[in-house]
Structure 1
Amino acid sequence: MHDTRAPDWRDDVIQDFARSELFERTFQEGMELVEETASYLDGEGRQESKLLSRNAALAYAAESMRLTTRLMQVASWLLVQRAVREGDMKPASACEERYRLNAGEVSRTGDAEAARGELPRGLTTLADRAERLYERVRHLDRRMYVDSETAEPTNPVLSHLDRLKNAFGG
């Protein structure tokens, strides 16, 4: 079972990120993209989808589901980081698997990819923006929670002593 207790130094990394300008910009971008997507899908996108061929309509449904799934994963992750920033959640809790980005890819099917050229430009533009945001947040998630699990903060004195021990067979 995965130990969800973050070391103190990792708590600091998580809290520092949650208080950073990068987080604020990413949070703002993510929430604006969620709102913009919802507005598009409920309005213009709904109208455009009615004009599509059967295959393109199926691809539209698949792409819009993929888009909303991706955005909800990002929004959820960002809200957890904000909860850490505001003291509503401990950094160690944010390390729990249930609060992390879903490791599984939300990928396009072959049919959806083939029909992508028939999809409305508004949908494909939103999907591309959401994919880029998702990849950035996934990178942040890995850096903060996966890479930091194996990266212990190094003490230069102890590191040097270990090298001396190894060099002299100690």
Structure 2
Amino acid sequence: MTTVQSAQRIRRQVVEELYEETLLLADEARAAFDMRGQDGARSEAASRIALSIEGLRTTTRLMNLLAWLLNQRAFFAGELSEAQVRRCGSLAGNRPSDPAQMAALQLGTRALVRESERLYARAERLDRQLRREDANGQARALQGRLANAFGTG
């Protein structure tokens, strides 16, 4: 197995693990931020607002992450070309939680939000690495074409 094949296999495994973790966390987030059935009169208004705001941030973060992971999985499955995944496969910027809103949440909900941020940070590192490797590969390919064009290759 070549180094490139080995790196590709490891990337695929990392993407699959992130995908599974994100799916599980998305399900937990849905349950944690579901405000149906809560008695609004008994819930403190600030807590409900914080739950709503951080719930939206967290679910958006997880959906962006799932979309990126699905693009990566489609690339590994041969459903997207390198050019397609490069063009539409970039991970959206993350909007971190608001400390003031987080303070109004229960500890378990805060932990869930923090876990979504950790998963997103892992994906951002992987995305940066993939883009760096892609840029290096493109630069080497251009150098090769230039060398061939000028007869120095």
Scaled by the length of structure 1, what TM-score is found?
0.66
Aligned to 1:148: 133
1:106 aligns with 2:106: no
**Against the structure 1 CA distance between its residues 65 and 86, is the aligned structure 2 distance closer, same or farther, given a 3 Å change threshold?**
same
Q: How does 1:72-83 map to 2 (within 5 A)?
A: 72-83=63-74
**Unaligned stretches of 5+ residues in structure 2:** 144-153
Aligned to 1:165: none
**Unaligned stretches of 5+ residues in structure 1:** 1-11, 159-170
The one of 120, 123, 130 equivalent to 2:109 is 123
Q: Report which stretch shifted further, 62-71 or 17-26.
A: 17-26
State whether residues 17 and 23 of structure 1, in contact with CA within 8 Å, keep that contact through their aligned partners in structure 2.
no
Q: How does 1:1-170 map to 2 (within 5 A)?
A: 16=8, 20-42=12-34, 46=36, 50=40, 51-96=42-87, 98-103=88-93, 105-109=94-98, 113-145=99-131, 147-152=132-137
Q: CA offsets per residue over residues 34-72 of structure 1, 9 Å max, x none?
A: 122223333xx6556845422222111111111001001
Q: Distance in 2 between matches of 1:108 and 1:36?
A: 17
What amino acid is the match of 2:89? Y
Q: Percent identity among equivalent residues?
A: 26
Which of 1 and 2 has higher RCO (CA within 8 Å, sep 6+)? Answer: 1
Q: Distance in 2 between matches of 1:82 and 1:58?
A: 36
Q: Distance in 2 between matches of 1:18 and 1:34?
A: 24
Q: Distance in 2 between matches of 1:85 and 1:70?
A: 23
Aligned to 2:149: none
Scaled by the length of structure 2, what TM-score is found?
0.73
Q: Distance in 2 between matches of 1:140 and 1:132?
A: 13
**Against the structure 1 CA distance between its residues 49 and 16, is the aligned structure 2 distance closer, same or farther, given a 3 Å change threshold?**
farther
What amino acid is the match of 2:26? V
Q: How many pairs align?
A: 136
